[in-house]
Amino acid sequence: MGVEWSGAVLAGGRSRRFGQDKACFCYRGRPLLQWVLEGLEQASERFVVANRPYRVRVPIYPDLHPGGDALSGLHTALARAHFEWVAVVACDQPFLQQDYWRFMLEQTRPEVLAVVAASQERLEPLGALYH
């Protein structure tokens, strides 16, 4: 699909329940954050929304409203994106690779404001496209 789009990874959480920074957690030899950024490689731009530094080759933007959890990260992603469609994904979603985003982009329409996956009648607001 020829549409330009932004890819934003939310990595601003405190990982309290997980016990360590999820973005840096090593899965199959690489940090989760690296897997997620790889899944967004086809994006016209990629960036991370986080309140701490990471060793990545994309811009990192702090939350515009720190402490607001994922909603604050989503707001920051939408505010920082340069393109009309924004893929927003959490740093702990390494399985959302390029085929997933290609499929999601195929679902976009001019009248649609978001493309959100559903599983067992539950919407998945992260791993979604927003217009």
Q: Find the helix packing angle between 98-106 and 32-39, rounded to 10°.
A: 40
18-65 pLDDT per residue, tens: 567 889 989 999 999 999 999 999 999 999 999 999 999 999 999 999
| Residue 31 pLDDT | 95
Question: Measured between alpha carbons, how far is 120 from 110 in angstroms, rounded to an integer?
Answer: 27
DSSP 6-22: EEEEE-----TTTSS-G
| Residue 128 pLDDT | 98
Model confidence at 14, pLDDT cuts 50, 70, 90, reads low
CA distances from 92 to 82, 108, 119 (A): 24, 24, 17
How far does CA 37 lie from the centroid of its chain?
A: 8
| Residue 13 pLDDT | 65
